[in-house]
């Protein structure tokens, strides 16, 4: 066997105890331990061994990457399943371990460990894959294979990562439609904190990242350990602590009853489970961002300014109106024009038409070609909205193929948004969607798909049996996206699901960005984008400038606040620009130009967020990889208890370099009352990076729902 393995990358260490025949256990996951000999690793493992306490087992109970009751583990089990009631508990024995190290390669993965194990009595084999990425992430998944002559019913597979006792506080996210990614924190007490999703999609209330950390941890302070489940269907993540002092984070797919039944020779592969360690949430985020940016298929060209037509016209589509909107979009510097819902057969409102993916000739007698030609003549790409997985009962498709609708067999699920779910586990339904998507992308040379998914999967049965079908549905969606992109390699896809209902690293292996929320109220978006950024870098977060009055909340915001908020994502526009004044369009054009100039910094730099003591004032920004330049937003969310609010720190700069700090146009001054004033350094101040991060500069006095941009340039 391999004894002890020490895997290191980018300030992270992972120590694996591979002695004996049982599954490996993680002895340490966290800060880099430096070079250690095998003798030192053995001492470290010995130092971690537990004592035998009263009224416990007579042997130490190890926590393996897949915990087993046969080893004495009485917490949440790693594998649950059975053969008609037998083989309910496993005792896997390792047959082989292989390690691969690629430090010389500029590859996403630095270390890879594969473990081949078998439980001969249960007639199961297990293949574990554990990787450490170049950015310091740990990720693992497992493949279970039935080697028996009868069916094995799999109920669940959970993979774990240990955390130390010092991780005494938990943070995860929740939310709802129009208010996704709301943080919640509490003590990491004994027992299990379970975040389980049964919505059939990642969910607007999804945990995103389950974080355990030192009490009071922030963006820049405290050790933190976070776990993410890279799966777009039902899933679970948990934080568990037992009286023996063992603490862990774990995750996997939530399987519905009877959903995975492995026939002889069949296998199930779990989703990838990602773990990120950091000193502060910013470092935890940076590991995710670094991994995503290192992938070969990560979007690496400048993220085009995108106008989406939804809040501009809704279902009121006609050629004249949309060509006028395209003209206005081009005037302000838009680079991509996306036609949203309403272009296909019978789609005059949200009651009908889903599934009938043919251009409606009553609205578009010449098809979409006149609009597409006009958009391209203005130098813009063309994108189109779809919701492939859904179907309205009032549609030709539903009337022709009612058997393609997900149901339990004897009844239909309740409607949501007047729609049901198309069963992609049905080969003919899958083939129909692939043909329609491929035909439309080919005919119109579509550059970009806004791929929506607007309802939860309730009683998502697979026809004709009516058995649970969420796992098969999710896998089929992945295959559909993969096949479409293999036929159209330059096609970009946005993951949209009632806004931010499908945000995970599973779907993002196939898509280029997410639509963070259907709410583009800039005040709400400050929080939504901040916490979506816990997982995703800015270039993968769709962030649009809405109309002066937010459609979802009725709030009115200045153009600078709306545009300055959208600047720190993949910027777009969701506004009927034909109704904007000439002054508004000119001001928006200045923001678009600033975005284009800042793209190389925003989408390659390090995201930073200051732990400012005043909750009414947020400070966030992006620092260039070489730390030569940074751009920060100072955002006044509400009135402050004190006025002036005091100094703000600008994190992430080179301690020993000197920077010139000054407000940055067009966000150099806040629109609104004249009493919103900038401080003494408005004309520029030169200070070392150590002073800017440790001491800071006086914050401007801003009215609520205003922001200013600040630039730091090394001199």
- Catalytic residue list: 452, 518
- DSSP strand pairing (93-101 vs 79-82): unpaired
Strands 306-308, 336-339: pairing is parallel
Backbone φ and ψ of 705, nearest 5°: 60, 45
| Contact criterion met (CB below 8 Å) for 544 and 512 | no
CA 204 to chain centre: 11
Q: CA-to-CA distance for 287 and 32, rounded, in angstroms? A: 14
User: Residues near 106 by Cβ (< 8 Å), separated by ≥ 6?
Assistant: 134, 294
CA distances from 704 to 416, 523, 611, 638 (A): 37, 10, 19, 5
Beta bridge partners of 621: 608, 632
- The answer to whether 207 and 195 have CB atoms below 8 angstroms apart is yes
Nearby residues of 55 by Cβ (< 8 Å), 6 or more positions away: none
Helix (H) or strand (E) holding 601: helix 582-602
Looking only at the bridges linking them, the beta strands covering 570-574 and 306-308 are: parallel
Is residue 300 within 8 Å of 514, Cβ to Cβ? Answer: no
* CA-based max dimension of the chain: 81
Beta partners for residue 131, in sequence order: 112, 139
**101 in Cβ contact with 111 (< 8 Å):** yes
Structure tokens at 464: 């004709």
User: Hunting for tokens 């910094």 — which residue is that?
Assistant: 601
In whole angstroms, how far apart are CA 274 and each of 133, 243, 446, 599?
10, 26, 33, 28
- Single out the residue of 544, 551, 528, 436 nearest to residue 494, CA to CA: 544
Tell me the CA distances in angstroms from 462 to 141, 404, 436, 495, 649, one per residue in order: 26, 9, 22, 24, 55
Phi then psi for residue 579, to 5 deg, are -95, -5
Q: SS3 for 436-449, per residue? A: HHHHHHHHHCCCEE
Q: Look at residues 214, 208, 206 and name the one whose alpha carbon lies nearest to residue 170.
A: 214
């Amino acid at each position: 066997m391999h004894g002890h393995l020490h895997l290191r990358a980018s300030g992270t260490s992972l120590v694996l105890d591979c002695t004996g025949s049982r599954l490996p256990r993680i002895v340490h996951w966290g800060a880099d331990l430096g070079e250690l000999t095998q003798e030192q690793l053995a001492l470290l493992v010995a130092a971690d061994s537990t004592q035998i306490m009263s009224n416990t087992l007579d042997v130490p109970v190890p926590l393996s990457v897949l915990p087993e009751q046969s080893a004495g583990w009485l917490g949440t089990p790693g594998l649950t399943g059975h053969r008609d009631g037998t083989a309910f508990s496993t005792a896997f024995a390792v047959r082989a371990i292989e390690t691969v190290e690629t430090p010389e390669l500029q590859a996403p993965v630095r270390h890879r460990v594969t473990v081949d194990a078998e439980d001969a009595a249960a007639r199961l084999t297990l293949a574990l894959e554990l990787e450490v990425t170049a950015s310091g992430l740990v990720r693992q998944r497992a493949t279970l294979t039935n080697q028996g002559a009868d069916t094995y019913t799999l109920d669940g597979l959970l993979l774990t990562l240990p955390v130390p006792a010092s991780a005494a506080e938990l943070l995860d996210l929740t939310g709802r439609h129009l208010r996704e990614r709301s943080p919640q924190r509490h003590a990491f007490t004994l027992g299990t904190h379970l975040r389980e999703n049964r919505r059939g999609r990642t969910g607007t209330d999804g945990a995103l990242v389950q974080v355990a950390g030192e009490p009071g941890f922030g963006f820049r302070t405290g050790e933190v350990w976070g776990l993410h489940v890279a799966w777009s269907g039902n899933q679970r993540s948990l934080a568990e602590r037992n009286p023996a002092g063992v603490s862990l984070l774990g995750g996997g797919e939530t399987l519905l009853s009877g959903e995975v039944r492995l026939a002889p020779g069949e296998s199930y592969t779990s989703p990838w489970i990602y773990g990120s360690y950091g000193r502060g949430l910013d470092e935890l985020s940076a590991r995710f961002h670094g991994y995503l940016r290192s992938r070969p298929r990560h979007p690496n060209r400048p993220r085009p300014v995108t106008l989406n037509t939804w809040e501009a016209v809704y279902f009121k589509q006609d050629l004249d109106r949309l060509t006028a909107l395209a003209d206005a979009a081009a005037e302000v510097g838009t680079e991509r024009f996306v036609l949203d819902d309403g272009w296909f057969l019978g789609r005059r409102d949200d009651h009908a038409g889903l599934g009938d993916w043919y251009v409606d000739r009553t609205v578009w007698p010449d098809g979409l070609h006149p609009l597409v030609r006009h958009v391209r003549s203005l130098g813009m790409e063309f994108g189109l909205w779809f919701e492939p997985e859904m179907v309205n009962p009032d549609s030709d498709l539903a009337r022709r193929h009612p058997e393609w609708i997900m149901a339990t067999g004897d009844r239909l699920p309740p409607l949501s948004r007047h729609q049901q779910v198309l069963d992609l586990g049905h080969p003919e339904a899958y083939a129909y969607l692939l043909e329609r998507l491929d035909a439309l992308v080919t005919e119109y040379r579509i550059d970009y798909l806004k791929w929506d998914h607007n309802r939860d999967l309730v009683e998502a049965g697979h026809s004709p049996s009516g058995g649970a079908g969420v796992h098969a549905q999710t896998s089929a969606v992945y295959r559909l996206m993969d096949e479409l992109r293999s036929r159209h390699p330059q096609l970009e896809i946005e993951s949209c699901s009632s806004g931010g209902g499908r945000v995970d690293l599973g779907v993002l292996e196939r898509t280029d960005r997410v639509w963070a929320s259907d709410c583009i109220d800039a005040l709400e978006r400050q929080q939504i984008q901040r916490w979506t950024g816990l997982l995703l870098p800015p270039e993968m977060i769709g962030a649009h400038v809405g109309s002066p009055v937010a459609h979802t909340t009725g709030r009115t915001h200045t153009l600078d606040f709306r545009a300055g908020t959208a600047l720190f994502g993949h910027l777009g526009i969701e506004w009927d620009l034909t109704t904007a004044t000439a002054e508004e369009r000119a001001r928006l054009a200045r923001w678009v130009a600033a975005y284009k100039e800042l793209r190389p910094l925003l989408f390659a730099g390090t995201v930073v967020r200051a732990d400012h003591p005043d909750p009414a004032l947020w400070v966030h920004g992006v620092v260039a990889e070489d730390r030569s330049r940074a751009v920060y937003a100072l955002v006044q969310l509400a009135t402050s208890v004190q006025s002036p609010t005091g100094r703000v720190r600008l994190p992430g700069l080179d301690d020993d370099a000197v920077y010139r700090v000054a407000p940055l146009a067009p966000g150099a001054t806040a629109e609104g009352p004249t009493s919103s004033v900038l401080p003494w350094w408005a004309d520029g101040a030169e200070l070392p990076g150590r002073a800017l991060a440790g001491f800071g500069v006086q914050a401007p006095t801003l009215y609520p729902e205003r922001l200013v941009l600040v630039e730091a340039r090394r001199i």
